[in-house]
Structure 1
Amino acid sequence: MSEEYIIHADTCYRLAEQKAAGYFASLYKQVMEKTYVSVLTEDFELWQRDHVRGQSWISMFARGKRGSDGRDYHRYIQWLKHTGTLDAYLDRSVSYIYMRDLGKAIDSPEAQAKIRRVAADVKQRLLLPATTNREDRPAFVSFAGLYRWAQKEGIETAAIWVIDKLKSVAAHIPEEMNAEHAQRKLIKIIVGVVMHAIEEMGDEPSPDERARRLDEAIRLGYSYGLTYPFIDDLLDAQVLTAQEKAHYSDMIRTALLTGSVPELGEWSGARKAMIQYIHSELREAFEYMKRRQQPGTQHLFFEQAYVFFHSQELDRAKDMTHAAYSNEELYIPIILKSASSRLIARSILRAPLDEGFEDRTFFYGIFNQLADDFADMFDDRRDGAVTPYTYYLTYRDQRPDLINPFELYWTVIAHLIHDVYRSDAKAREVILARAINGLRRCKARIGTEKYNRIMEIFASENPAFNRLVQHMVEKAENVEFFDKLLRDQLVAILKRDRNEKEEFAETVKTVRRQINDTLQIAKPDGIPAMKESLIDAANYSLEGDGKRLRPIVTWVMGVQEYGLRAESILPLLRSMEYMHTASLIFDDLPSQDNASIRRGRPTLHRVHNSATAELTGLFLIQKAIQEQASLDRFDAKTVLALMKYSAEMAENVCVGQAMDLDSKGKALTLEQLEAVCFYKTGIVFEAALVMPAILAQVNEKEIEVLKTFAYHAGIAFQIKDDLLDLEGDARLLGKPVGQDAENNNSTFVTILGSEGASKKMWEHYCTAMEALQDMPRRPVFLKHLLDYMVSRNR
């Protein structure tokens, strides 16, 4: 154990606790004297001049449109623009972020200039023309948007890394936790740390230095943010047993005190695999953060992290049945954990602190914490969690000494406006708007009746002040914040994506089963023995563990998007899989790729011989033509058009295979490889999209969009295949890995390297995703199919 990493837990926590106790004593005195009432009454009198207007039809319309609808993100921004409130909305929102996340004083000309510049940049992005901003989500929520930003900054590798990490975390969040909020917190921390880095850099660094710092900020943001879902939320949730929680907490404490993550040790039960994953991720994150600390800042980082963790542990250990917690026991851990979380975000970047930063951050934290606890009051009470609000609700009649947390909240607000931000008008504008917005959101969420009952409990001691506050809640305009819009949008998107992904998986599973059930070729009585053996060989190839992606795509596009009847396109589905299986049989022959395993089983020519395999391939092609000719639910002209297109595609696949064979052992250029890939893979995927469109008689413009999507999706699919051949699991793939290198074949990996191939895959992913925006129906299935293509492990 290195001496430089050792911290003295009791000492560092006691010093932090003393500071928090001093702050609490000051707040307690103000609560007892109720100084906040007169101070904030005057503040509200000034503030309402800009927020409470007469009963004009415009103001009534504005109140009718209050709030942000996460499902209508861009329309809400346009509404703000048309009502002339967008500039004030963004200025208020950016100012709040500077205060809360960056710990800035906002009264200096320099800070005001930065706020205006950031607000103007956000406005420009929000008001992009519809043709370039049609996706219904902020760019940082979209993998395509994130990657496009990363390309501009030269940090594509970091973007790919964090996308893979976010997907992995999402897949490992236990069902008992709120997955959307866990992911939201992680994304929020990553964005916050990147914001810190950008703010710290300014306009000075060279492009290379800026890229280096942003790359580091993304990785640090993930590493720190991971503690929210996998430490804080996990320990709060009913996932681990009491014994497991104690063991897990001891590991975290040991890591912070020694600078070294202990081994997981013995862990049994249903949660073993989950804990092994979390332990591995947290260890990697911890080591990354530790390596980025300078010798002079290591102690500060570990001390702040320990204070954060220990204060959370004290808070988490509280039991609602214990009726004797003092006010200090209730509030001091809250002051510490709320301040430490912000201080750590700054310290992990090793950013120098401007004058007053630490004090502002320390005093500010409890404002957000009390607001959050108020918003979560009913959920916390249901779960038996001890917060100032739930404890006060439970024991207020028995414990007259308990501080009313709602009064403390307003005391903190008065203290921030006048003692921390020196009565700055902008600080007053932002903080009061935030408070009123929080109450308004609560009222909308729980309903007026329940809200009024809560106010009778928490605000009855100061009826005149409460009437003023409720008047603001009812009448004040322009108190919304951009981060709340993003929060609502992000949660809504994550929920929708989860539901869509589940529906996607279920659709694939169901349709795949239906296709498998109809693929086997029947053997009529009285057929020649040789034909029977050919059918057996064909069925052997068809029975393999195929993904059936192409006929699945055709079914979804035909049935769900174009409204064709499922039974009417069954012949088309069979024809596609027959053609595809035939092409695989030919690919695997000794004269071509000489493969020994296909779909997890020996290839057909290994089971029989090459001649049988060749004849079986030809047999399946003829069966495919028969199936297409039996599409009798459609008019003959349409079926002929489909068969003509299908023949052209089969012709191109032959060209692609010839190109592939000719390229064996040759060093191809990227352009040559993409051409081979398109003819071998993209063409077949295009056919899966275009053939149901032909049957539905879709216009040529939409078909061109489908072809563009298919081209880029097909290449992305092939690049992923090449990457899996390098680093995949043969058991999952159903075929050996490393074949391309063994055969000295040119692949995207051999031409571009693993990192370059990943970048190229994401470039094609983005282009394919952007093509979907030009489709009139923008099928959700294709979006998730594309996500699957670049995320699959087989």
Structure 2
Amino acid sequence: MMNNELIKNEDECYRLAEQKAAHYFKLLREQVTAKTYVTNLTKDFQSWKQNHIHHSFLSFFSKRQETPDLNGYHSYIQWLELTGKLDHYLDRSVSYIFMRDLGKALDSAENKESVRRFTAGLKKYLLKPASESGEQIEMFSMDGMYRWGQKEGIESAVMWMHNKIQTAASHIPKGMDAEHAKRKLMKIIGGVLIHEMEAMGGGVRGEERTKRLDHAIRLGYSYGLTYPFIDDLLDSAVLSDKEKRQYSDLIRRTLITGVVPELGKWTGENRGLIQFIHAELREAFEYIRANQRRETIQSFFELAYVFFQSQENDREKNLANAHYTNEELYIPVILKSSSSRLIVRSVIGAPEDKGFENRTFYYGIYNQLADDFADMFDDLRSGAVTPYTYFLTYHEQRPDLINPFQLYWSVISYLIHDVYGSDPKTCEVILDRAINSLKRFKLRVGKKKYHELMGLFTSEVPTFNQTIQHLVRKADDVDFFDKLLRDHVLTVLKKEQQEREEFIYTINTVRNQINETLPIAKNGNELLLKSPIIDAANYSLEGDGKRLRPIITWMMGINEYGLDRLAIMPMLRALEYMHTASLIFDDLPSQDNAPIRRGRQTVHQMFDAASAELTGLFLTQKAVHELSSLEGFEPRAVLRLIQYASQVTMDMCMGQAMDLHSKGKQLSLEELNTMCFYKTGIAFEASLIMPAIVAHADEAEMKALKKFARHAGIAFQIKDDLLDVEGDKNLLGKPVGKDAENNNSTFVSVLGLEGAKKAMWDHYCTAMETLQEVPRNTTFLKYLLDYLVNRER
């Protein structure tokens, strides 16, 4: 029944929405023609500027001297607090979010209290002393989100979200921006969470709050996925024209029928990409549909169809076509900008809010015109048709074209006086935002280009333009937290992408150099050389090892402690010899009896068990020999290093013995943590502590490094346990399921799959927090930790 109704009503619901948009556009057009917005806003600005333009010489000098760079996220927040500006800054920022994202009116007592409560919570978070948590967590870092998830009891949802975002981003094809996709997904999830938290207010606690936050994260991701994998994909040049038509038809059929159709035959070269997207979007769509209230499901499909169809109408425009009417340019913009925000409210099934639909409908184009203004040059370069790009291209040929900049101010006037009833707080926030947008644009494009554009866009209203430009030059206290956060997140994501690429390059480069120095030469008595031990040792070293331990020592020793590369080579070899020996022993028939290691037969399979045992012993002694050959370091430091390395080897042996004697037994979590640290984590500790010893690092630094290594090592081992259950044999280079086959106690067997994942992320967070205590550049260790928990082998 529902499907038939959707098929019957699809054109009708779009037509009705189009009529409403046409009526709104007519009102705005009349204001542009009569210039009534100029009179209204000139009066508004006369009152507004009293709070934003300060004529005192002292205040001007103070501002010039003290205001920090806006890109300095944390320092800027601290500066606002010190100067007494933070409360007003956050109040206008939160008020704007309530208007834009929640469709709220700011004049009701209930909404004022909600803004106050939300602002107080945000301020408390931003000013939280580092001592409370041991570090200054990035709002959108995995450790920051996971710690918040623990506090709210929604760790599972945060882990699910992280995995989903990482997977989606890894499938973003060339020609699209993976970092932009991640930011957009996080923004939409955050927006849905804000909707949900505002709807709950302060009265929902316990299991109900946990359930609703978990639900909001999954809904936010499910809805947000449509942006990179529908809107951005169809806007890009990734798909051929034929593929775009085929894909658009599939989306349209879904919205008409309420059911995701089978993909069917796909003849384009992007079949693999579309198969992945189809599976992800089907899962997301079914989650949204399954969690809709009966009374909102119809509205959801109608809004989604209006949004998609208006996007399609806009997408089909060609900048080379000089004959589009004003209605063809603006009505789809009104439809897509309003319906996209209305969908969010429908998705989460929020309770009815009187006036919400009208406020959101009228507000949408304001935000869209502001975005299109900011992006006009990028849009011009890509050939996209927006009101701005079309006006810039054809204004000389088409005097009938409406000036989008004038329409933008008309929208502002209409919102303030006709939608929000001339509410002073609303007027303040909207004008703050408008002037701030112009300030940011001027800074980005430069004064010359900015004034050229203003001359073009405001030629018919020169006096109004003078008022605006005076305010752009002189006004202060008009910036917003969401812009600061957006810039910060973009900066962080770009920096992380660059650092991640450098990390991967460094890993591969250093790994290759280490591999070259590992083979053991055959020197000595010819009779002894006939034994297979050196061959077996080199065979084991030639496997596809990650070389993480010597790589860590290389990076810390050379880059952070300034040690000579050639001088520490024996240390690097010693670490890999020790580690490889431990793997040979671990694989023996008397222990795990593993047939495959590093993608090839284990040493005892290739040679024999006795040779494998002797080879392991040979490599441990070879490691000591390498350390004793270190030159250029203080003898006492080298002696201390050898003593430490010997202790590490003994501890590893005891950890392995504990593992062997635990077979068939159920270990406690404490026993498991101890065992895995001595089996695995202590080798990570050695890779950090050994260069620190010869560099004479102080005890506080070594204590922090040991703490990091302990938690990173346990996280690494938990990931190994998870891969033994969920991993891909071909990627791992060894069989899966060996732990269960050998009756080993693992984090999965003790905590269960979900519990093991939570434990891994908890150790990850503690390790990441500990890096704040290390007085070195820890960027490499940060990405190493990310690699340890996100790897597939």
Q: TM-score range by the shorter chain?
A: over 0.9
SS in 2 for 1:566: coil
Residue number in structure 2 paired with 1:10: 11
Structure 1 residues 545 and 610, CA gap change in structure 2 (3 angstroms): same
Question: 1:70-117, CA deviations, whole angstroms, 9 ceiling, x for partnerless residues?
Answer: 3x2110101111221111100000000000000000101111111111
Structure 1 residues 66 and 26, CA gap change in structure 2 (3 angstroms): farther
Residue number in structure 2 paired with 1:73: 73
Residue number in structure 2 paired with 1:23: 24
* Aligned: 1:581 with 2:575: no
Residue number in structure 2 paired with 1:325: 324
Structure 1 residues 133 and 485, CA gap change in structure 2 (3 angstroms): farther
SS in 2 for 1:400: coil
Contact 1:138–1:486 (CA under 8 A) maintained in structure 2: no
Residue number in structure 2 paired with 1:109: 109
Residue number in structure 2 paired with 1:52: 53
Residue number in structure 2 paired with 1:637: 636
Deviation of the 1:269 alpha carbon: 5.7
Residue number in structure 2 paired with 1:273: 272
Paired with 1:11 and 1:524, the residues of 2 have a C-alpha distance of: 87
Structure 1 residues 5 and 773, CA gap change in structure 2 (3 angstroms): farther
Question: 1:501-536, CA deviations, whole angstroms, 9 ceiling, x for partnerless residues?
Answer: 111111111111111111111123763254552111
* Aligned: 1:99 with 2:114: no
Residue number in structure 2 paired with 1:119: 119
Paired with 1:364 and 1:750, the residues of 2 have a C-alpha distance of: 54
Deviation of the 1:726 alpha carbon: 0.8
Deviation of the 1:586 alpha carbon: 0.9
Residue number in structure 1 paired with 2:656: 657
Paired with 1:195 and 1:681, the residues of 2 have a C-alpha distance of: 42
Paired with 2:21 and 2:210, the residues of 1 have a C-alpha distance of: 38
Paired with 2:777 and 2:144, the residues of 1 have a C-alpha distance of: 17
Deviation of the 1:55 alpha carbon: 3.8
Deviation of the 1:68 alpha carbon: 5.7
Residue number in structure 2 paired with 1:441: 440
Residue number in structure 1 paired with 2:235: 236
The 5 Å alignment of 1:240-251 reads: 240-251=239-250
Aligned-residue identity in percent:
61
Contact 1:5–1:259 (CA under 8 A) maintained in structure 2: no
Contact 2:664–2:743 (CA under 8 A) maintained in structure 1: yes
SS in 2 for 1:308: helix
The 5 Å alignment of 1:719-758 reads: 719-758=718-757
Contact 1:137–1:493 (CA under 8 A) maintained in structure 2: no
Residue number in structure 2 paired with 1:418: 417
Paired with 2:269 and 2:673, the residues of 1 have a C-alpha distance of: 45
Deviation of the 1:277 alpha carbon: 1.9
* Aligned: 1:685 with 2:684: yes
Residue number in structure 2 paired with 1:308: 307
Q: 40-49 vs 564-573, which deviates more?
A: 564-573
* Aligned: 1:675 with 2:674: yes
Paired with 2:625 and 2:116, the residues of 1 have a C-alpha distance of: 68
Deviation of the 1:432 alpha carbon: 0.3
* Aligned: 1:352 with 2:351: yes
Paired with 2:4 and 2:698, the residues of 1 have a C-alpha distance of: 70
Deviation of the 1:253 alpha carbon: 1.0
One-letter amino acid of the structure 1 residue matched with residue 84 of structure 2: G
* Aligned: 1:399 with 2:364: no
Return the structure number with greater relative CO, CA threshold 8 A, min gap 6: 1
The 5 Å alignment of 1:199-218 reads: 199-218=198-217
One-letter amino acid of the structure 1 residue matched with residue 37 of structure 2: Y
Provide the alpha-carbon RMSD of the alignment: 1.5
One-letter amino acid of the structure 1 residue matched with residue 464 of structure 2: F
One-letter amino acid of the structure 2 residue matched with residue 92 of structure 1: R
Deviation of the 1:590 alpha carbon: 1.1
* Aligned: 1:567 with 2:563: no
Paired with 1:90 and 1:2, the residues of 2 have a C-alpha distance of: 45
Q: How many residues matched?
A: 792
Q: 16-25 vs 164-173, which deviates more?
A: 164-173
SS in 2 for 1:297: helix
Paired with 2:776 and 2:242, the residues of 1 have a C-alpha distance of: 52
Deviation of the 1:240 alpha carbon: 1.5
* Aligned: 1:150 with 2:149: yes
Deviation of the 1:386 alpha carbon: 0.5
Deviation of the 1:204 alpha carbon: 2.4
Residue number in structure 2 paired with 1:786: 785
SS in 1 for 2:773: coil
Paired with 2:31 and 2:220, the residues of 1 have a C-alpha distance of: 37
Structure 1 residues 635 and 4, CA gap change in structure 2 (3 angstroms): farther
Paired with 2:745 and 2:5, the residues of 1 have a C-alpha distance of: 48
Question: 1:14-65, CA deviations, whole angstroms, 9 ceiling, x for partnerless residues?
Answer: 0110111111111111111110001000000000000011042323442566
Residue number in structure 2 paired with 1:289: 288
Q: 732-741 vs 127-136, which deviates more?
A: 127-136
Deviation of the 1:131 alpha carbon: 3.4
Contact 1:725–1:740 (CA under 8 A) maintained in structure 2: yes
Paired with 1:64 and 1:364, the residues of 2 have a C-alpha distance of: 38
Contact 1:74–1:136 (CA under 8 A) maintained in structure 2: no
* Aligned: 1:542 with 2:553: no
Contact 1:598–1:735 (CA under 8 A) maintained in structure 2: yes
Contact 1:194–1:221 (CA under 8 A) maintained in structure 2: yes
Paired with 2:89 and 2:530, the residues of 1 have a C-alpha distance of: 75
Residue number in structure 2 paired with 1:85: 85
Contact 1:73–1:136 (CA under 8 A) maintained in structure 2: no
Residue number in structure 1 paired with 2:195: 196
Structure 1 residues 64 and 487, CA gap change in structure 2 (3 angstroms): farther
Contact 1:504–1:781 (CA under 8 A) maintained in structure 2: yes
Residue number in structure 2 paired with 1:40: 41
* Aligned: 1:378 with 2:377: yes
SS in 2 for 1:348: helix
Residue number in structure 1 paired with 2:509: 510
Paired with 1:430 and 1:512, the residues of 2 have a C-alpha distance of: 55
Contact 2:134–2:769 (CA under 8 A) maintained in structure 1: no
* Aligned: 1:694 with 2:666: no
Contact 1:716–1:765 (CA under 8 A) maintained in structure 2: yes
Paired with 1:137 and 1:505, the residues of 2 have a C-alpha distance of: 24
One-letter amino acid of the structure 2 residue matched with residue 248 of structure 1: Y
One-letter amino acid of the structure 2 residue matched with residue 371 of structure 1: A
TM-score after normalising by structure 1: 0.98
Contact 1:585–1:614 (CA under 8 A) maintained in structure 2: yes
TM-score after normalising by structure 2: 0.98
Q: 676-685 vs 177-186, which deviates more?
A: 177-186
Contact 1:713–1:765 (CA under 8 A) maintained in structure 2: yes
Structure 1 residues 335 and 538, CA gap change in structure 2 (3 angstroms): same
